[in-house]
Structure 1
Amino acid sequence: MGIEPLSPPDCGNGLRKADGSVIALRTLISPNRPWIHLLYLGMFFFGWLYLPPTRLEAALGLVSMAGFIGLYVFVMRRMDWTVYPAALITSLLGLLLVPQTLGGGVYFVFAAAMLGRLDWTLRLWAAMALLAVTGISAIWIYAPTPLFALALAGLGAMAAGGSMIAARHEREADQAEETRSRAAREGAEAERQRIARDLHDLLGQTLSTVTLKAEIAERLLGQDADRALTELRAIQTISRQALADMREAVIGLRGRKLGEAMSEGVQRLADTGVSARLDGAADAAQLSDEVSTALAMVVREAVTNIIRHADAGDAALVFSKQGDVVCLAIQDDGCGDADPSGGGLSGLRARLEALGGALDVAPGSDGRGTVLTATLPTKTQGFGAQQ
């Protein structure tokens, strides 16, 4: 399983949000975005249709509108304390322009839309109440009929409600993005740990065998050239297999069969002078890939530990099935004292426990050597289906 790198954002097709990320153009012009509400500024000019402004009034109105648009674009990308001063400035614009044209009342509507983006705390309720009293009073004084004030109150409520819904969607989208990012980070860490475990499990035994065979070949060079050549060719074969194992570990496509791993383990033990007995390998052919791979890793780790640390003369690899549970036992007659908390064994234990299994490390029945026992359930892994 790979991670696909995140494609870099296209800075030419959107605007940057406050956190530095980019809003896609399609998202930017969506009706769900607050920018579309700027179209309501057209209401400002309705009053001029009935009472044309002077040049000074027109200039003041257009300059204030340009400044407001910049303020609106800034604040509608935020959901923090800066919304309060922005709403205050917008309300002051409304108070300044309503005496000239009733269209200036639209700024009170925009102030309500700004405040609607915040969480509804006591402070926000107070700000909304102050805005409502100020806006309705201003319109009531200058409008020819109270209906204008009622219309303004209705538009303000709609604007605040729409902004509240839009802000909630933005928060949910941010939370979903954070969840995806966290899952990606956790997945990357899990993948890193998996690769580390697999490289240890797959290559530990191989490298130990290569080292041992290289030492044997070195001793035989001056005594038996044919045997030395055989050992060198064996190193070539083992190295090629190690390279294949490493590639498979990195891309996560191991799918190792337990029977094959047991046979290879017995052969590698024999190559290092350990007489090994194999039992039940044929029965392992019915295992699912997941269970088979997990137990194959156990074989590799156990054989590696025997070669490296056990100083054993005999070993046994036994596979059995009891009902819906499979059991793999690997025993040696070496020096014992295996560390169950070691990096390789702890990684195997975590792998088996994730599948509902267990790993046990104990001394041999006669007090010599070590017995490593791995158990796994098979019901949910497809064992019975393949019978």
Structure 2
Amino acid sequence: MTNRTLALLSPNRPWLHLVYLGFFFFGWLYTAPTPTQAALSLAAMALFIAAYVFTLRRGDWTVYLAALGAVTLSFALLPVNMGGAVYLVFAAAMLGWLPGTRLRNAGLGLLVLPLAIAVWQFALPLYAAIAVGLLGMLAAGGAMMGARRQSQDATAQERQVRAAANAAEAERQRIARDLHDLLGHTLSVVALKADLATRLFDADPDRARGELAEIQSISRQALAEVREAVTGLRERGLAAAADEACQRLRAAGLKVSTDLDAEGLPAAQATALAMVVREAATNILRHAEAGQASIALTRTDHGVELRIGDDGRGGARIGAGGLGGLAARLLALSGELIVQDGPGARGCVVIARLPTRGATDA
């Protein structure tokens, strides 16, 4: 069976309650109907089923009208068939499918009145009235439980859809952050080397060709990194990222000092810190106009602290771009990212802190 078929046949759905209509025909065991009565009764039943399905699919104020119609139909049939009292049961069931409100509860309470009228006006046997009352309470209670389960299922399904959407958005943001962190640095270096190769093309062709060869190598490496970022397989080593950043900074004419001990870091922390190194180096190349830069990793009693500083013009702040993405990445590891002015309000220092405890490779 398909999921749609199983859903329609679920006991939480109101359609299976239509089997109660079989009680209507018990009355014909006592008094056989005329052909006209039988035809009118069956036509009325068909119209009732249509109204029942239509109103319960809507689940709004039309259910009250349908319940009133069921009571009216019951009164119309009781003079010739006491089985017509079953429509009072359906009135209770229909009201039970509605959300719990004072109006719904009042409607269920008022159904005692037509049942009493059926006993008094149409001589419905007392045992039959008791049976109808009990069936009505059971039908209403079952409908309330079914409505509650439907609401719970809808809420659970909505949560699943929302969780899937959040997971997809998180993956999209991860890919966007990785691509920004990877390509921002790489393209900055490519642009610098392309400018350098252009200036050297006539004065020093051999060195210009060397710069172009490096551009080719960097481009191939960037392509591989993009593929890894999209598939989520890349784990970036901190030491390798720091070495690469130092080479690029020195190639741009900066003096770079390093003090890095990356041994023993969890993979998730090393990857996050490697991203910080690359983003900070990219910002230095793009914006700092610096002459010196430093990369240092220190260990404390509480965790590790990575500092990338320069003596440029400063002014960097955490926004919605690369630094903002890195701040979110570190926060997911219970860490923090700080961007502040360098000593003497000169240059900029990017500080990444991660705790020792609670660090995982997730």
TM superposition score normalised by structure 2? 0.93
Distance in structure 2 (CA, Å) of the matches to 1:146 and 1:132? 14
Secondary structure in 1 matching 2:203: coil
Aligned residue number for residue 29 of structure 2: 49
- Alignment partners' CA distance in 2, 1:348 and 1:45: 73
Instruction: Give the one of 109, 113, 119 matched to 2:89.
Output: 109
Deviation readout 1:33-59 (Å, 9 max, x if unpaired)? 221111111111111122110011000
SS of the aligned residue for 1:337 comes to coil
Residues 333-385 of structure 1, C-alpha deviation per residue, up to 9 Å, x if partnerless? 222222333622222222222322122222222443222111111211149xx
For residues 233-312 of structure 1, the aligned pairs below 5 Å read: 233-280=213-260, 283-312=261-290
Matched to 2:102, the amino acid is L
Q: Matched residues in 2 for 1:275 and 1:55: separation?
A: 106
Q: Percent identity?
A: 53
**Residue 263 of structure 1 contacts residue 278 of structure 1 at CA under 8 Å; is this kept in 2?**
no
Offset from partner CA, 1:194-244 (integer Å, 9 cap, x none): 333322222111101001111111222223222222111111111112222
Structure 2 equivalent of residue 204 of structure 1:
184
Number of aligned residue pairs: 361
Identify which range, 320-329 or 218-227, moves more after superposition. Answer: 218-227
**Code of the aligned partner of 1:317:** I
SS in 2 for 1:374: strand
Report Cα offsets for 1:289-331 as digits up to 9, x if no partner.
2211111111011000110111122211111211231110111
- The 1:328–1:112 alpha-carbon spacing in structure 2 relative to 1, beyond 3 Å, is same
1:81 matched residue in structure 2:
61
Q: Which residue of 2 aligns with 1:325?
A: 303
> In 1, are the aligned partners of 2:118 and 2:124 still within 8 Å (CA)?
no
Q: Match for residue 45 of structure 2? A: 65
Which residue of structure 2 lines up, in the alignment, with residue 359 of structure 1?
337
Residue 328 of structure 1 aligns to a residue whose secondary structure is: strand
Offset at 1:267? 1.3
Distance 1:97 1:107 in 2: 9
Query: 1:190 aligned to 170, 177, 185, which one?
Result: 170
Distance 2:141 2:310 in 1: 74
CA distance in 2, matches of 1:296, 1:241: 16
Q: Aligned partners of 1:33 and 1:121: how far apart in 2?
A: 20
Partner of 1:27: 7
1:102 touches 1:139 (CA, 8 Å); kept in 2?
no
Q: Which amino acid aligns with 1:74?
A: F
Structure 2 Cα separation of the partners of residues 55 and 24 of structure 1: 39
SS in 2 for 1:100: coil
Contact 2:97 2:144 in 1 (8 A): yes
Tell me what 1:131 maps to: 111
Structure 2: stretches of 5+ with no match in the other structure: none
**How far is the alpha carbon of 1:120 from its aligned partner?**
3.2
Gap runs ≥5 in structure 1 = 1-12, 15-22
TM-score (norm: length of structure 1): 0.87
Distance in 2, matches of 1:105 and 1:342, equals 68
**Contact residue 288 and residue 347 of structure 2 kept, 8 A:** yes
Secondary structure in 1 aligned to 2:57?
coil
The 3 A distance-change label for structure 1 pair 153 and 376 is same
Deviations 1:10-67 (A, max 9, x none): xxx87xxxxxxxx710121123322111111111111112211001100001101111
Per the TM alignment, residue 126 of structure 1 is displaced from its structure 2 partner at its CA by: 2.3
Q: Say whether the 8 Å CA contact 1:287–1:382 is kept in structure 2.
A: no
The 1:65/1:271 distance shift into structure 2, 3 A limit, reads same
Q: Compare 234-243 and 342-351 and name the one that shifted more.
A: 342-351
- Report if aligned partners of 2:94, 2:143 keep a CA contact under 8 Å in 1: yes
1:343 to 321, 325, 332: 321
Cα contact 1:206–1:238 (8 A) shared by 2:
yes
Counting only pairs closer than 5 Å after superposition, residues 140-219 of structure 1 correspond to structure 2 as 140-143=120-123, 145-219=125-199
Residue 77 of structure 1, CA deviation = 2.5
